[in-house]
Amino acid sequence: MKYLELANLALEQYDIEPISLEFLMEATNVFFLVHTADKNYVLKIFQEDSSSINDNLTEHFMIGAIKEKSNVMTPMVIENKDGSTITKITYGNHRGYKRVAVYEYFEGIPIDGTETLETFIEVGKVMAKMHLATENLQFPEHINPKRWDKVFYFENEHAVYHKSRYAKYITKQMKDELDELVIFLNERLNHFYETMTPRLIHGNLNPWNIQRFLGGLIVYDFEEVMLAYPVMDIAIFLYYYRYNENFVFDDILAAFLKGYSEYRPIPRALDEKNLEIIMIARRINILNYILTIRKDPSEYIELSYPKIKEYYLSYK
């Protein structure tokens, strides 16, 4: 079944009268822009290897909490005619099904490339509000969030850099260093859960998932929502600026914390050591993922592995 046909079948389950469907992109998932007479929507077809239905329901639960408990802007999830946020469309002679969700559409502009120090203050405020909104949340029985208690935290995720097909990019020495770091980082990530109470966090607050809209910021893409810690959200966002040549990292951090502290105290776990642990864990996770999606990952490895090596040497 082609994606367009699947999208049209899914829309029959909603009180939406589409005028036309416009293909947006196929990345981790497949997206269509749904045009109607009065407003537009985004239809997302989930890929089986990118998330589970549990991930999707947790994502929608988090969006609902943000909507209810804060003034942070994020697209609302649209319920189908049965009152569900997930629509299942069967395919392949009913041997399987695709999961579909529909969201409000807002044409924001990613902050990537337009940041000023004031932007980081704004992001700090938005993130603090989100963390406040998920404090002491009671989960329904059907919500079982994943945890970031190991480097490869997705379901069925493993270290693909061991596969022979990547030997031309990942040397034996690199594999040995990565393995050693993964063991160490898994211990440190798991230690968070032994010493503090987790909460839902966004899990992927990058400069493309935070956009300008109507003079403010709007947050997208909650698919990687996890039961973790505010310091992890903060480290994931700052990861994208750790080596940004357009800014001094300490200035970015100071601006972000200025905004964050206006709404909630700075997390006690936020220190240089923990930031580096979380950032390196993310870097290894992304490197592992890049191997699977890029025909030639050598450029990324050349840019990213020296930073992993630097941490490895300091860790040793």
Question: Domain residues of the chain, as ranges?
Answer: 3-107, 110-315
Q: What's at 234, amino acid-wise?
A: I
Distance between CA atoms of residues 11 and 26, nearest Å: 19
Per-residue pLDDT of the chain in tens (316 residues, 90 and over written 9): 589 999 999 999 999 999 999 999 988 899 999 999 999 999 999 988 888 899 999 999 999 999 999 999 999 999 999 999 999 998 766 567 899 999 999 999 999 999 999 999 999 999 999 999 999 999 998 899 999 999 999 888 899 999 999 999 999 999 999 999 999 999 999 999 999 999 999 999 999 999 999 999 999 999 999 999 999 999 999 999 999 999 999 999 999 999 999 999 999 999 999 999 999 999 999 999 999 999 999 999 999 999 999 999 998 7
Count of CB atoms situated within 10 Å of the CB of 54: 14
The predicted structure's pLDDT at residue 90 = 85
Q: Which fold has domain 110-315?
A: Aminoglycoside 3'-phosphotransferase; Chain: A, domain 2 (3.90.1200)
The structure tokens 């596969």 sit at 163
The predicted structure's pLDDT at residue 48 = 83
What is the model's pTM? 0.93
| Angle 183-188-191 from CA coordinates, rounded to 5° | 125
Distance between CA atoms of residues 236 and 153, nearest Å: 15
The predicted structure's pLDDT at residue 208 = 96
**Is 76 within 8 Å of 63 (Cβ atoms)?**
yes
How far from 97 is each of 47, 100, 259, CA to CA, in Å?
11, 10, 44
The predicted structure's pLDDT at residue 120 = 98
**Is 206 within 8 Å of 236 (Cβ atoms)?**
yes
Give domain 3-107's CATH architecture.
Answer: 2-Layer Sandwich (3.30)
Q: Which residues are within 8 A (CB) of 274 and not within 5 positions of it... i.e. 6 or more apart? A: 231, 235
Distance between CA atoms of residues 6 and 102, nearest Å: 13
The predicted structure's pLDDT at residue 154 = 87
Directed axis angle between helix 272-293 and helix 172-195, to 10°?
130
